Chains A and B, each alone.
Chain A
Amino acid sequence: MPLRTPKNRHSAKAFEKALASKSDGKYILRLYVAGATARSRSALRRVYEICEAELKGNYELEVIDVYQQPELTRENQIVATPTLVKYSPLPLRRFIGSMSGAAGPFFTLDPIAKGKMVV
């Protein structure tokens, strides 16, 4: 029962497809939230802001409500909400929290975005 192969360990099928089709460094992001709470909303707003500011259209952002699609939590190893998962480009990264009060905390730290490292 090969449950823990790299293939299906962290990624949903949709993103495998996305990975296969797009290798041009486009950011594929998913934000997992639990319901339309204030925390969810502020996280979404913050993520949207940062993406617009730093990625300028070179991204795909999908918002998933875990209440609606609970089965995705297991596939994507979601424990905390809100969680933003960056599936592409690799490496896979998870950003936990509402990201309130933090100005671009993740993309500034992301080595690829900063051009410090080439994958």
Chain B
Amino acid sequence: MKQKVANPASRNPSLPRCPTGIQGLDEITGGGLPRGRPTLVCGGAGCGKTLMAAEFLVRGVVEFGEPGVFMSFEESEPELAANVASLGFDLPGLVRRRKIVLDYVHIEPSELQESGDYDLEGLFVRLNHAIDSIGAKRVVLDTIEALFAGLRNEAILRAELRRLFRWLKTKGVTAVITAERGREQLTRNGLEEYVSDCVILLDHRVVDQIATRKLRVVKFRGALHGTNEFPFLIGDSGISVLPITSLGLNHKISNERIGTGVRRLDAMLGGRGFFRGSSVLLTGTPGTGKTIVAANIASAACRRGERALFFSFEESPSQIIRNMHSIGLHMDAFVKGGLLRFHSARPSLYGLEMHLATMFKEIASFRPQVVIVDPVTSLMDSGTPSECRAMVTRLVDYLKAKHVTTIFTSLTQGGHALQQSEASMSSLMDTWLLLQDFEGNGERNRVLYVLKARGMAHSNQVREFLISKNGVDLVDAYIGASGVLTGSARAAQEALEKATTLANLQEAARRKRELGRKREVLERQIGALRSEYETEAVELRRIDQQVGTRTLVLSTERAASGRLRQADAHTSNGTRDKPKFANGRP
């Protein structure tokens, strides 16, 4: 039961539907208009009633094989044919093939006089004949209220209209009756009293000089239906109603990664760039290089042989191409090669819905792998915040379902509101890069950091974003006790560090040399000492020898003298004591 409530009567067997074929309308009404019953379409002048009715009829023939009768009370057949021809409907052709009957009911009050009572049997017969002649299943009465202008007897008219609608029901045709919107009621002549099965209200309103068409199903007897106001637009292929929640969150995702065209940026995003099919938000204050990053991403895609579609809402294509030349990006080659397409339009050109429809159409025809919306914020001016959020949601959903990587650039004002204003949109984004200015030391420097990147390890570092004629580069910003240093301050800091290091090196070398010298001196001293010692050792040996020799000589002399004196004293061998060295020198 619950599910039935959530899904408005899509499979309600008790109430068969007649699909309109109008994009989105069948979704809102849960399958189409009530089959075999009249539906009232009302709205002010120029809100698309006749067109909706005509499209209902033409699509009925073309898509569902149901012939139809168009009974017009306001426009003649050629006028009608010309009006719908602009939407690509070939009404005369369908008339010739006997799929549609066009009947222009013309009442000229000046040639008309009423007297006595009458009925509208003539109209019934006329309609019946038209229906039967081609076996019509659908009928349009546009705008039957014109009868009130032609015929004066309102009492008869009302009674006959009531009878007409009942007759249409018994005839089993699905009818669309258009009516002009009244001041206090839905229609000028209170037709809603008679047609009570389904009432659709069209509205064309202008907010902030931008017109938006809205559609609302006021009433749908016997079925649940979307009761919201839905924006719709009249494009060159007819009406399309855009339900806010057209897609669920069930798109397939990809694990493939694509490069950004800036090597260091890839490195910040886990080394491999974005996920394919992800949505990327690129926010920054004016002049921080959002378009440049976006152009780099687009060019990178083209270099990979993919197609990129660049929606620009502030600059013309040639201006972007020229500007990108200055940083060494030659996008014109990609444009010529058919890999890159620009679509430029002023945001105020038309309403948000029309922009969205145009974008959908461009995407569908070009089938890009990368889409850039630059900047999405200027598009935001075309509608209320809730509308814009809904639009971005739909765009993101649509592109994700198609595996298209999308880069939204977003212009923010400085200060703390920066992140807050984007909060509503950022939750839709998978990756959020922030470009920011740092002001100080009389200069302005750009930095880039990754605020979030779903599903990948990413750097938490602030990088300085450099733009030169060779392209863009990211360098490590100096982060010290005094905060983040960029630009010349960073350069100065780097120079300072370099100087300090050099000084340290030089000092070390000097000390090393000094120590070396000291060592040399010591070694020399050691050498001198050693030679002195050796001299002394030689001297010692010499002394020993001398002593030995002398002793020997003495003992020899003594023995000789003893022998001479005939003494029996022992003969001495002349003991020689070897000298002992602690060092054991050889």
Q: Which residues of A contact B (CB under 8 A)?
A: 1-4, 9, 32, 34-35, 39, 43, 66-67, 70-71, 73-74, 77-83, 91-102, 105-106, 109
Contacts and interface: CB of A to CB of B under 8 A. Distances in A.
Given A3-B77, A4-B78, A78 B115 contact: no
Interface of B: 76-78, 81, 92, 95, 102-107, 111-126, 128-130, 147, 150-151
A84 to B, nearest CB: 9
20 contacts: A1-B81, A4-B76, A4-B77, A34-B124, A66-B122, A70-B126, A73-B126, A74-B126, A78-B122, A79-B126, A80-B118, A80-B119, A82-B118, A95-B113, A95-B115, A96-B112, A96-B113, A97-B115, A105-B113, A105-B115
A41 B196 CA distance: 36
A106 B115 contact: yes
B151 A96 contact: yes
A74 B129 CA distance: 9
B117 A97 contact: yes
Among B115, B116, B122, B123: residue with most chain A CB under 10 A: B122
A79 B105 contact: yes
A70 B111 contact: no
Nearest to B110: A91
A81 B115 contact: no
B126 A1 contact: no
Contacts of B130: 74
Nearest to A95: B113
Nearest to B106: A77
Nearest to A66: B125
Contacts of B92: 1
A102 B116 contact: yes
Contacts of B124: 34
Contacts of B113: 93-96, 105-106, 109
Contacts of A82: 118
Contact of B119 (A34, A102, A106): A34
Contacts of B123: 73, 78-80
A94 B112 contact: yes
Given A4-B78, A66-B125, A70-B126, A79 B115 contact: no
Given A4-B104, A92-B111, A96-B112, A78 B118 contact: no
Contacts of A94: 111-113
Q: Which 7 A-B pairs have the closest CB atoms?
A: A97-B116, A34-B121, A70-B129, A98-B116, A78-B122, A73-B126, A97-B115
A81 B116 contact: no
Contacts of B129: 70-71, 73-74
B475 to A, nearest CB: 72
B327 to A, nearest CB: 59
B146 to A, nearest CB: 10
Contacts of A67: 125
Contact of B117 (A91, A98, A106): A98
Given A1-B81, A74-B129, 5 more contacts: A9-B106, A34-B122, A80-B120, A92-B111, A97-B117
A111 to B, nearest CB: 13
Among A2, A39, A43, A66: residue with most chain B CB under 10 A: A66
A79 B120 contact: yes
Among A2, A3, A109: residue with most chain B CB under 10 A: A3
A21 B128 CA distance: 34
Contacts of A96: 112-115, 118, 151
Nearest to B126: A73
B151 A2 contact: no
A37 to B, nearest CB: 9
A54 to B, nearest CB: 15
Contacts of A70: 125-126, 128-129
Contacts of B103: 74
Given A2-B78, A70-B126, A79-B105, A93 B116 contact: no
Contacts of A79: 105, 107, 120, 122-123, 126, 147, 150-151
Contacts of A97: 114-118
Contacts of B76: 3-4
Among B95, B118, B147, B150: residue with most chain A CB under 10 A: B118
Nearest to B152: A96
B118 A66 contact: no
Given A4-B76, A66-B122, A43 B116 contact: yes
A2 B151 CA distance: 27
Given A4-B77, A77-B105, A99 B116 contact: yes
A91 B112 CA distance: 11
B148 to A, nearest CB: 12
Contacts of A100: 116-117
A72 B119 CA distance: 17
A100 to B, nearest CB: 5
A35 B113 CA distance: 22
A114 B526 CA distance: 158
Contact of A1 (B77, B112, B122, B151): B77
B461 to A, nearest CB: 72
Among B106, B111, B116, B130: residue with most chain A CB under 10 A: B116
Contacts of A39: 117-119
A83 B108 CA distance: 14
A71 B185 CA distance: 37
A74 B104 CA distance: 8
Among B115, B120, B129: residue with most chain A CB under 10 A: B115
Contacts of B105: 77, 79
B104 A81 contact: no
B116 A101 contact: yes
Contact of B125 (A3, A73, A95): A73
A109 B244 CA distance: 61
Nearest to A65: B125
B73 to A, nearest CB: 9
A64 to B, nearest CB: 10
B74 to A, nearest CB: 13
Among A32, A73, A93, A97: residue with most chain B CB under 10 A: A73
B542 to A, nearest CB: 148
Contacts of B78: 1-4
